[in-house]
């Protein structure tokens, strides 16, 4: 049966539905680390469990899948989850994100249960919820202007300037949106809320639950989905924490910091991660944490010492700290004879991209796969850029 929920500020809310986005269902986020497996599937299972237990509809805000062309397992996992909702008679709705976008046949349409919400509405309590698939800049502004006036909640998957600021290309901003008071946003992998005004100068709020599992080491391991609810005519939400693989981060700039990390810091952090895994009953394939160590290239043998200290207790990511301006720091050569990264720095001076590629290859469990993955990432970005340009042209987007 449905239950009410209490927000942190003590407000009692009647829950209406669950919203999540950016699941990126795939075996793993790191193609060169096949042993980091199942994080996206595990988070999705938790969300399905919650929806069934509380009899709450599920709204999927795009990028349910990692890519447009998929292997069998992500599709099988997706269909298994949707079949659980179908068996429990719990409704499911979805929009498409840019990662899985197909104008002819959305991937989620392979299963008969979920409803494609693009330019469609459903009723949740006293509110009307309307959805829009990802659309290119220009086309999305036109779509915003055509949102029905009765809409209260708009579900989207776009690159919002309100989140990104002036960083990179954005596709829209809240001042483009008409009529609605709340936007539920996919695409942004950070849990965040933004308040602004819409195209008519009226207050509007945007809610981003963030991704449901880490997609790169720049993300936090703290992941959430949202329960959207009603409080006497006010739209409220509550973030629900997901159980996820832990990630810990260290920065090493001196020999002393390296000594401390290898003798105490790493062991303490890995012990804490083990306690968390036990308390949360994480499955074995999720229990092993991620460790990221950034080190100054002038510290002798940093990489080798960190690898030895971590052993097989974690998935290790090592990278050299970027030098930002000023004079270049180089360790005395008598301390660097066995420091491979320092040697690379000297060999590849003036070629930072080549240096970073070399470090990533040497740090990988599967160097050949790392090289191939870098190539595939480049080809994928090139293909997506070409696809985006084609979509914009075909859909009549403004340049």
Q: Residues 307-338: pLDDT tens digits?
A: 999 999 999 999 888 765 544 444 444 333 33
pLDDT in tens, 91-137: 999 999 999 999 889 999 999 999 999 999 999 999 999 999 999 99
Tokens describing residue 205: 């709020």
Least confident interval from 53-57, 110-114, 224-228, 363-367: 363-367
- The three state secondary structure string of 257-313 is HHHHHHHHHHHHHHHHHHHHHHHCCCCHHHHCCEEEEEECCCCCCHHHHHHHHHCCC
pLDDT value at 396 more than 90: no
pLDDT band for 9, please (50, 70, 90 cuts).
low
Domain 5-241 has CATH 3.10.20.30: no
Q: Quick one: pLDDT at residue 183?
A: 98
Q: What are the structural domain ranges in the chain?
A: 5-241, 247-363
Summary mean pLDDT of the chain: 87
pLDDT band for 348, please (50, 70, 90 cuts).
low
Contacts of 144 (CB under 8 A, 6+ apart): 132, 172, 176, 177, 178, 199
The answer to whether the pTM exceeds 0.75 is yes
Least confident interval from 110-114, 277-281, 382-386: 382-386
Positive or negative torsion for Cα 51, 105, 384, 33: positive
More confident residue, 377 or 236: 236
Tokens describing residue 280: 């949360």
Pseudo-torsion of CA 173, 176, 180, 186, nearest 10°? -30
């Amino acid at each position: 049966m449905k239950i009410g929920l209490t927000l942190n500020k003590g407000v009692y809310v009647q829950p209406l539905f669950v919203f999540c986005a950016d699941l990126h269902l795939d075996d793993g986020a790191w193609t060169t680390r096949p042993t980091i497996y199942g994080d996206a599937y595990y988070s999705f299972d938790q969300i399905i469990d919650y929806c069934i237990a509380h009899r709450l509809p599920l709204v999927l805000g795009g990028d349910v899948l990692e890519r447009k062309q998929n292997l069998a397992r992500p599709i099988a996992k997706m269909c298994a989850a949707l079949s659980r909702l179908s068996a429990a008679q719990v409704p499911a709705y979805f929009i498409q994100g840019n990662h899985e976008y197909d104008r002819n046949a959305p991937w989620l349409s392979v299963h008969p249960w979920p409803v494609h919400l693009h330019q469609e509405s459903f009723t949740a309590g006293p509110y009307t919820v309307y959805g829009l698939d990802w659309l290119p800049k220009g086309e999305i502004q036109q779509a915003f202007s055509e949102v029905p006036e009765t809409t209260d909640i708009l579900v989207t998957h776009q690159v919002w300037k309100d989140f990104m600021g002036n960083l990179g290309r954005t596709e829209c901003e809240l001042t483009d949106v008409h009529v609605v008071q709340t936007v539920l946003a996919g695409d942004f992998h950070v849990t965040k809320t933004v308040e602004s005004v819409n195209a008519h100068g009226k207050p509007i709020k945007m809610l981003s639950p963030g991704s449901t599992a880490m997609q790169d080491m720049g993300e936090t391991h703290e992941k959430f989905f949202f329960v959207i609810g009603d409080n006497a005519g006010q739209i409220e939400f509550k973030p629900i924490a997901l159980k996820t693989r832990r990630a810990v981060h260290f920065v090493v700039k001196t020999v002393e910091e390296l000594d401390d990390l290898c003798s105490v810091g790493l062991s303490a952090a890995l012990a804490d991660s083990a306690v968390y895994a036990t308390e949360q009953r994480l499955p074995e394939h999720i229990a092993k944490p991620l460790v990221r160590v950034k080190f100054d290239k002038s510290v002798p043998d940093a990489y080798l010492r960190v690898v030895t200290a971590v052993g097989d207790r974690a998935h290790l990511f090592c990278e050299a700290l970027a030098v930002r301006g000023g004079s270049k720091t180089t360790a005395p050569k008598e301390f660097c004879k066995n420091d491979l990264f320092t040697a690379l720095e000297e060999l590849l001076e003036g070629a930072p991209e080549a240096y970073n590629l070399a470090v990533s290859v040497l740090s990988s469990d599967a160097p050949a796969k790392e090289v191939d993955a870098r190539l595939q990432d480049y080809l994928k970005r090139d293909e997506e850029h070409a696809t985006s340009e084609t979509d914009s042209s075909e859909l009549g987007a403004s340049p």
